[in-house]
Amino acid sequence: MKARARLSPCGRLLRHAIDRFSSSCFCLTGLILSSAICVASSAQNPSLETSDQSVQEQELVRKTVENEVSACNKPGTKLMFLSRKRNSQGLETKLNIETIDATAALLIEQNNHPISAEQMREEDDRLERLSHNHNELRRKERQEEQDAEHSLRIMKALPDAFLYQFEATEPGSASLGKTGDELERLKFRPNPDYSPPSRVEQVLAGMEGYLLIDKNAHRIARIDATLFKEVSFGWGILGHLDKGGTFLVDQAEVSPGDWELTHVRLNFTGKVMMVKKLVFESDETDTDFRTVPSNTTFVQGVELLKTEEARMQQARVQKKEEREPTVANRNQR
């Protein structure tokens, strides 16, 4: 079976932003994301003054991106993890599991409270339908494969789309990079000689910010970026993202050699078709990564999610029962 590429941090992040932008207008997803992307290495203009240090930083980014792409192309381990996502509707907590077919997700809490019995039945029905609908499952799988491919292409653009300058170093941690490793902070700004090959990369021309790179592992630990100018799609006819939009994404080594996204924060506004207002705010944290068998199917993954949800529910009940005697004793005193 062909290995599916894992989403890179920058790629997954930009996919969220662009997908949110495009999904607001009928077929924009096809117009923006289905464009052929052919990222080619572009030589820097000799007229640009570059120091030996800046050349080293550019090469560090290039080597790191090559390593990220290589890691995404490898058949990685399958994981179960917990995601907590806050948006304008509140806080959602989901259990997620990667399978050989597609990723399965089960909503378990809203605003830190377990979902109702009716909501759980709806979640069970949704996953049951997906498990037994081959066409729908295959459609989900193809979308994830396409997302991963777009992500890799965006990642490959980083060395050429930006110019980098060293700022400082800071230590890695359990949720950022690798504990004990030194992270190099590089400020970036658009490369004036970079020409985006498609509409997908157009957003890169309006971004500036910084990267944190783990020099030992050659992995990206953080991307923190801001849109310093308005970014238009389709000559402004399809829409635009407003100046001032921000995003932050963190990545960390969750087990030896396995790096995963741990935090993604997005804050964008804009317009679609020049009239429809777009507001997108999201803050997601992923934790509790656990490996599952690499040959886990979607059906098996759903069963594992249900088993884990039942275990978590039992743990909540037990914790509540343990608290109640303590509260009762305190009241008696």
pLDDT for residue 41 is more than 80 = no
Backbone angles phi, psi at 324, to 5 degrees: -60, -45
> Is pLDDT of 13 > 70?
no
Residue 328's pLDDT band, with cuts at 50, 70 and 90, is low
Q: Which residue has the higher pLDDT, 6 or 238?
A: 238
Q: What is the pLDDT of residues 200-248, one digit of tens each?
A: 677 788 899 999 999 999 999 999 999 999 887 665 556 788 999 998 9
User: With 60 as the cut, is the pLDDT of residue 27 above it?
Assistant: no
* C-alpha to C-alpha distance for 97 and 238, rounded to whole angstroms: 35
User: For 29-38, 59-68, 114-123, 130-139, which range has the lowest pLDDT when averaged over its residues?
Assistant: 29-38
What are the domain boundaries of the chain?
A: 9-332
Average pLDDT of span 290-295: 93
Q: pLDDT for 243-285, tens place per residue? A: 999 989 999 999 888 899 999 999 988 887 767 888 888 999 9
- Torsion over CA of 126, 127, 129 and 132, rounded to 10 degrees? 180
- pTM reported for the whole predicted model: 0.78
- In one letter, which amino acid is 317? V
Q: In the predicted model, is pLDDT for residue 63 greater than 80? A: yes
